[in-house]
Homo-oligomer: A and B are copies of this chain.
Amino acid sequence: MSSSDSLILALDAMGGDDAPAMVIDGAALALERSSGIRFLLAGDENRLRPLLARHGELEKACELLHTEEFVSGDAKPSVALRQGRNSSMRLVIDAVRDGRAAAAISAGNTGALMAMAKVVLRTLPAIDRPAIASVLPSRQRPVVMLDLGANVDCSAENLVQFAVMGEVYARAVLDVEKPRIGLLNVGTEEVKGDNVVREAATLLRDSPLDIDYAGFVEGNDVIDGVVDVIVTDGFTGNVALKIAEGTASLYADALRNAFRGSLRGKLAYLIGRSALGGLRAKFDPRLYNGAMFLGVNGVVVKSHGGTDAIGFAAAIKAAVDIARRGTNERIIEGMAALVTEPDPAETAAR
């Protein structure tokens, strides 16, 4: 994408609850950890310059794309698309389209970001609808789950495309050679579920694709990590993700209160601190921040809106991995196998 040796990442400096400070601090952290990266920073120069002044190294690695416009968190995607042509969010997507950046990262409005990514970058050949995919912790090892909310209604064909994209994504980011794919359902027996998942299961089972389809998985299997890739529609995936995050946060808070609530609790915490610290690090949701828009023709990573610098740095790291491993190119190859009789005219028209 970029003509220089560095990997250039375009950051929407104005997206997210604590932007732009959180974005700048996150970029500084990411720069310490990844070598050979540079940033295009889209946002209000007057607000960004003073923040950058605190990070000498980062300032040298940044080029500013000045704009005073940004997409608000509650803007409708269609409105953001029409009226946000000079927004910080749009500038980072444009930078990816024009090859000036290898990836765009934003913690702003998810719907608006997806709409811009679809319209400006277009979808990959043979993909009808992009999906939001993320890496999540599980009992055994990290797993990939999609769709996390881009498509509330899905056909069986959509789910099959998600499976293929998820398989390639898992190989790229989890370093799993042959990821096992599971379809999320209410039971593991073939008769379970609605027509869409059952038809998707048949398509995947009978597919000539070289993927390891493991069958249906249930909600608890997601957490237990029995497969590497969990495929579901955007409605169920979004609810599942928020339920898991909410439950984890409920437990973490209850644990904290239990320790703080008494002298014995405080003492126990002081003694057990190191053991508990390891636990926290293992499940820290910030370290899993950064969902990819799989299926658009360019790397776009969505950070949680409420994250902090540590979380935003993780999203940048995810984008770096995805771009360096040629994930999108590998998805194009993977999808090509799905199209049994490719139509060059149709492919060219996209």
Contact of A194 among B152, B184, B195, B246 (CB under 8 A): B152
Closest B residue to A232 by beta carbon equals B239
User: Most chain-B Cβ atoms within 10 A of its Cβ — which of A152, A189, A195, A255?
Assistant: A152
Q: How far is the CA of A220 from the CA of B254 in the complex (A)?
A: 16
A261-282: CB near B (< 8 Å → 1, else 0) gives 1101101110111111011001
Contact of A240 among B239, B250, B261 (CB under 8 A): B239
Question: Contact: B149 with A186, CB < 8 Å?
Answer: yes
Question: Contact: B251 with A275, CB < 8 Å?
Answer: no
Interface of A is mostly: helix
Closest B residue to A78 by beta carbon equals B191
Question: Contact: B265 with A272, CB < 8 Å?
Answer: yes
Copy total for this chain? 2
Whether A219 sits at the interface, judged by CB under 8 Å, is yes
Question: Contact: A250 with B223, CB < 8 Å?
Answer: yes
Q: Which of A212-261 contact B (CB under 8 A)?
A: 218-224, 232, 234-236, 238-255, 258-259, 261
Question: Contact: B243 with A223, CB < 8 Å?
Answer: yes
Question: Contact: B258 with A278, CB < 8 Å?
Answer: yes
Give the interface size bracket for A toward B.
Answer: 35 or more
Question: Contact: A218 with B235, CB < 8 Å?
Answer: no
Question: Contact: A267 with B258, CB < 8 Å?
Answer: no
Residues of B near A221 (CB, < 8 A) are 246
Q: How far is the CA of A152 from the CA of B195 in the complex (A)?
A: 10
Question: Contact: B248 with A219, CB < 8 Å?
Answer: no
Q: Can you list 30 residue pairs at the A/B interface with Cβ under 8 Å?
A: A138-B250, A139-B250, A139-B253, A149-B186, A152-B194, A153-B194, A153-B195, A184-B239, A186-B239, A219-B243, A219-B246, A220-B245, A220-B246, A221-B246, A223-B243, A223-B246, A224-B246, A243-B244, A243-B247, A255-B279, A258-B276, A262-B274, A262-B275, A264-B274, A267-B271, A267-B272, A268-B271, A269-B272, A271-B271, A272-B272
Chain A residues in the interface with B (C-beta under 8 A): 74, 76, 138-139, 149, 152-153, 184, 186, 189, 191-195, 218-224, 232, 234-236, 238-255, 258-259, 261-262, 264-265, 267-269, 271-276, 278-279, 282-283
